[in-house]
Amino acid sequence: MIDWSVFGAWISAAMVVWIYSFAYRDNVFYKLAEHMFVGAAAGYSIALALDSLNRVMIKPAVTTPSTFWPNSWHYVIPAILGVLMFAKYSRRYYWLARYAVAVNIAVGTGLAMRTVPIANIVKQVTATIVPLWGSDPVAVLNNWLLVLITIGGLTYFLFTVFPKRAEGARPSPLYYAYRALYYIGIYGMMVGFGALFANTIMTRVGFLISIYLIYLQPQYWATIVAAILAAVAILLSLRKK
Amino acid sequence: MSGSISLGKILESRELLYTLLLISVILPIIHPLGIPIAVSARTKAVYNYIENNLKPGCHVYFEIYYEVAARGELEPNVVALTKHLFDKGCKIVYVSLASYGVVVFNLLKSTAADIFQGKEYGKDYVFLGYVAGGESAAASLAKSIKGTVSTDNYGNRLEDLPLMREVDKATDFDLVIIASSGTDTFAYYVRQWYTPYNVPLLFAALSIIAPSIEPYVGAKQAVGMLVGQRAGAEYEVLVGRLGLGMASMDAQSTSHMLVLAFIVIGNVVYWSRRLSSKKGGGK
């Protein structure tokens, strides 16, 4: 008898090694792992989506119609719209899919727009109105940085009206203020991008560490065999070239 | 001259960096260094919020929205938070707006089985499973869970689960936790749960997306944020259950030191080349 759990653990360890082998060079095992992953992920997503549809609508409609239809009859509307999406595959009736897409976009936009002005504009602007004087020097410094970098960032993206330096004339104080804010914006964004880059490294290394701990370390023989196979495939491909 | 170029070429090769990175990850796991970690003020603030604001019997809504690859970053946070909430006597409703949430929840239950031991399904916690629809689904769940889904992940009718008789809408929850590897999920809950219903939100995010959702925390639209594996390790220390987060910290430290060393080397090589090309007539 095959122990499928051991088989699965070996396969998962091998897949991880083969996917990471792309960091060294493209090879046949990487391609195998890539295609298997894409196929399995797509199949799994479809199965889960169908299960969700079955669990939420089809099964209750069939098994408990007396409670489903009075309370949840409106589920039929998205179900019909969902079916209309498949009209895209018909040359004659493809236009029907537009109704489903239109409703989908309209509902999404409507739901988002009812709260976006408060959540993403008013609250964010309010959060930048902070006291610039106080007893805590660290908090004061933070608040100054927040205000200056916010205004500086906005100034950097000002493409319509901005003070220009007339040739031969002395620049106006407004011009100096604009340039100062412009550079504060640039450096503020650079610091932001630096933080983003550092966090990116942290996340990717975190993924590698956890994948090693969960999948590779417990199945070290599978890891070694998969790594040797990938190395041989890379060497063979280099030799062919 | 040719010697320095060849050294530069070796240092430039990505294979060398990847090999050293692998070694810097594997060695400290095989031989732990035991580098101590301090609990950051941000993680402590989240712990204190739960400690001071949630009472036994409170209700927590827990969004599980991350794929298997992101387990290492987010699962330590989810496990430690779940332990803290159960220790406080809270009841948890898990849900996922992503199809892979079902997979990671099952993995969570198998790897942290000790936390769920003694907790009764349906009474202490419920898993609603995958709810399709993205932001529309989040809005619908906030209005009425039972109006959105009629059964849980295992096909049980929600009316038959004691916990689901206690909660139905956003305002029935004392805290909403979102553990997500996607930026949009946090925006969904800020827009559909916090803004209309003023429900306190708590974020557990990947380090990579933390800067993107920081404005929500800064604007007090969320009570706090746990960032990545590091916060998971810190929370594990606070709740007294060391796991994947803490096991990863030595490897995180050594790999970061390696990346820092390569940034320094890269800059030295860049500037030395630039200066030598200026000396040689600008070529």
Distance CA A117, CA B196 (A): 12
Chain A residues inside the 8 Å CB shell of B211: 192, 195-196, 199
Minimum mean pLDDT range among A25-39, A74-88, A173-187, A226-240 = A226-240
Distance CA A83, CA A202 (A): 43
Residue B160 lies in a domain: yes
**Average pLDDT score over residue span B41-49:** 96
Is there a contact between A213 and B72 if contact means CB atoms under 8 Å apart? yes
Residue B189 has pLDDT above 50, yes or no: yes
Distance CA A78, CA B261 (A): 55
Burial of B213 (0-12, 13-18, 19+ CB in 10 A): buried
For residue A122, what are its two tokens? 């008013």
Residue B187 lies in a domain: no
B151 touches chain A (CB under 8 A): yes
**Closest approach of A170 to chain B, Cα-based (Å):** 35
The count of domains in chain B is 1
Res B222: pLDDT: 96
Tell me the Cα Rg of chain A.
29
**Average pLDDT score over residue span A128-145:** 92
Question: How many residues are there in chain B?
Answer: 283
B93's enclosing H/E stretch is strand B91-96
For residue A118, what are its two tokens? 């408060």
Is there a contact between B72 and A209 if contact means CB atoms under 8 Å apart? yes
Residue B54 has pLDDT above 50, yes or no: yes
Helix (H, G, I), strand (E, B) or coil at B83: helix
Confidence of residue B2 (pLDDT cuts 50, 70, 90): very low
The DSSP bridge partners found for residue B178 are B63, B203
More confidently predicted of B178 and A195: B178
Side-by-side strand order, sheet with B201-205: B125-130, B91-96, B59-65, B175-180, B201-205, B224-227
Chain A residues inside the 8 Å CB shell of B21: 205, 208
Res A67: pLDDT: 83
Chain B residues inside the 8 Å CB shell of A143: none
Is there a contact between A205 and B252 if contact means CB atoms under 8 Å apart? yes
Most confident of A60-64, B70-74, B200-204, B275-279: B200-204
Is there a contact between A126 and B228 if contact means CB atoms under 8 Å apart? no
Residue type at position B82: T
Confidence of residue A233 (pLDDT cuts 50, 70, 90): confident
pLDDT in tens, B23-41: 998 888 888 888 888 999 9
Minimum-distance CB partner of B132 among A49, A199, A212: A49
Is there a contact between A111 and B21 if contact means CB atoms under 8 Å apart? no
pTM (two decimals): 0.86
B72 touches chain A (CB under 8 A): yes
What is the percent of chain B with per-residue pLDDT over 70, rounded to a whole number? Answer: 94
What is the percent of chain A with per-residue pLDDT over 70, rounded to a whole number? Answer: 99
**Average pLDDT score over residue span A146-174:** 85
Residue B182 lies in a domain: no
B150 touches chain A (CB under 8 A): yes
Residue B227 has pLDDT above 50, yes or no: yes
**Average pLDDT score over residue span B70-81:** 93
Chain B residues inside the 8 Å CB shell of A56: 149-151
A202, A215, A224: best to mutate for the B interface, most B CBs within 10 A: A202
Chain B residues inside the 8 Å CB shell of A214: 71-72, 244
Minimum mean pLDDT range among A41-55, B122-136, B212-226 = A41-55
For residue B127, the enclosing domain spans 41-173+192-212+231-248
Minimum-distance CB partner of A206 among B102, B153, B228: B228
Residue A60 has pLDDT above 50, yes or no: yes
Residue B282 lies in a domain: no
**Closest approach of B154 to chain A, Cα-based (Å):** 9
**Closest approach of A21 to chain B, Cα-based (Å):** 10
Distance CA A63, CA A51 (A): 15
Minimum-distance CB partner of B72 among A23, A196, A207: A207
In B, minimum Cα distance to A193 occurs at: B211
B73, B201, B234, B252: best to mutate for the A interface, most A CBs within 10 A: B73
pLDDT in tens, A96-129: 999 999 998 998 889 888 899 999 899 999 998 9
Residue B138 has pLDDT above 50, yes or no: yes
**Closest approach of A1 to chain B, Cα-based (Å):** 25
pLDDT in tens, A156-165: 988 777 777 7
B31 touches chain A (CB under 8 A): no
Residue A42 has pLDDT above 50, yes or no: yes
Residue whose C-alpha is closest to residue A202's, from B266, B108, B251, B16: B251
pLDDT in tens, B11-22: 667 788 888 988
Res B181: pLDDT: 94
Q: DSSP secondary structure string, B119-134?
A: PPBTTTEEEEEE--SH
Contact B242, A222 (CB under 8 A): no
Is there a contact between A214 and B29 if contact means CB atoms under 8 Å apart? no
**Average pLDDT score over residue span B70-82:** 93
**Average pLDDT score over residue span B151-170:** 93
Res A236: pLDDT: 84
- The dihedral built from the CA positions of residue B120, B124, B127 and B128, taken in this order, carries a sign that is positive
Residue B45 lies in a domain: yes
Res B1: pLDDT: 45
Is there a contact between A195 and B229 if contact means CB atoms under 8 Å apart? no
Mean of the per-residue pLDDT values for chain B? 90
Is there a contact between B72 and A210 if contact means CB atoms under 8 Å apart? yes
**Closest approach of A45 to chain B, Cα-based (Å):** 6
Contact A115, B192 (CB under 8 A): yes
Res A175: pLDDT: 87
Confidence of residue B74 (pLDDT cuts 50, 70, 90): very high
Res B7: pLDDT: 66
Confidence of residue B283 (pLDDT cuts 50, 70, 90): very low
**Closest approach of A137 to chain B, Cα-based (Å):** 18
Is there a contact between B207 and A119 if contact means CB atoms under 8 Å apart? no
